[in-house]
Copies of this chain bind each other. A is one copy, B any other.
């Protein structure tokens, strides 16, 4: 039996999603709880390998089990055994051909900026404090400049040899919610650090340190030296993983 789970987690205390032998990870936390329940090792496959300190509201994962339990029982038991900063928010039986990572058709990330003059202690774990001097019109224009042709090498770390790096976005929007500016980016797939590289670059535009045109030029060139700094991990959140199914 294959079980699909949707996870929300605060990444602060984790060295990212992917299991490591010598550091706490989200995959490790889920697998440890699942192994207790199954009474044998369980491999949990996640849709996205979120980096250290990155959060999720809609990470998707799957695992196989011979335990004939309703999915809700798995949800209840996993939540009972896992630390409170990792929660299964949904669980459902999945087709044996469903694969959380290979089946993903897109991902939506959000990135939160705290624009108060003094950093909110409540937002501090979940937002990058950029202060009150942002030019929001420029931020909006820079966000739009991410659309169109996009070689993600401009914003990401070196890809694996042979990896396709032309990966245009499906959408990129910003919205304000009180003192928080939220950047939402959806794409088919992302190179490592690409979203944080994009955010770091457009924030430089909003601070008057680079032009909107330079964002477009970087996107088309795929040249990492033409883009800005990588934004810190704690503002980033994997909101949703998209599959070929009715939404």
Chain A contacts to B: CB under 8 angstroms? 8-10, 55, 57, 75, 79, 84-89, 116, 118-122, 124, 126
Tell me the bound Cα distance from A87 to B84 in angstroms: 26
B121 with A8: CB separation less than 8 A: yes
Please name all residues of chain B whose beta carbon is closer than 8 Å to the beta carbon of A84 when the two chains form the complex. 119, 121, 124
A79 with B118: CB separation less than 8 A: yes
Which of A119, A121, A124 lies at the interface centre, i.e. has the most chain B CB atoms within 10 A of its CB?
A121
Chain B: CB-nearest residue to A11: B121
Other CB < 8 Å A-B pairs besides A9-B121, A85-B121, A87-B121, 4 of them? A8-B120, A57-B122, A84-B124, A85-B124
Please name all residues of chain B whose beta carbon is closer than 8 Å to the beta carbon of A57 when the two chains form the complex. 122
B121 with A86: CB separation less than 8 A: yes
A122 with B79: CB separation less than 8 A: no
Copies assembled: 2
Tell me the bound Cα distance from A120 to B9 in angstroms: 8
Which of B89, B119, B124, B126 is in CB contact (< 8 Å) with A118? B89
Please name all residues of chain B whose beta carbon is closer than 8 Å to the beta carbon of A119 when the two chains form the complex. 84, 87
Tell me the bound Cα distance from A9 to B121 in angstroms: 6
Q: Can you sample 7 A-B contacts with CB below 8 Å?
A: A8-B118, A55-B122, A75-B118, A85-B121, A86-B121, A87-B118, A88-B118
Tell me the bound Cα distance from A8 to B114 in angstroms: 15
Chain B: CB-nearest residue to A124: B84
Please name all residues of chain B whose beta carbon is closer than 8 Å to the beta carbon of A10 when the two chains form the complex. 121-122, 124
Chain B: CB-nearest residue to A116: B89
B55 with A8: CB separation less than 8 A: no
Tell me the bound Cα distance from A57 to B122 in angstroms: 9
Chain B: CB-nearest residue to A79: B118
Chain B: CB-nearest residue to A75: B118
Tell me the bound Cα distance from A23 to B79 in angstroms: 32
Tell me the bound Cα distance from A87 to B118 in angstroms: 7
Chain B: CB-nearest residue to A85: B121
| Closest CB pairs A-B (n = 5) | A10-B121, A85-B121, A89-B118, A87-B118, A87-B121
Tell me the bound Cα distance from A169 to B122 in angstroms: 27
Please name all residues of chain B whose beta carbon is closer than 8 Å to the beta carbon of A85 when the two chains form the complex. 121, 124
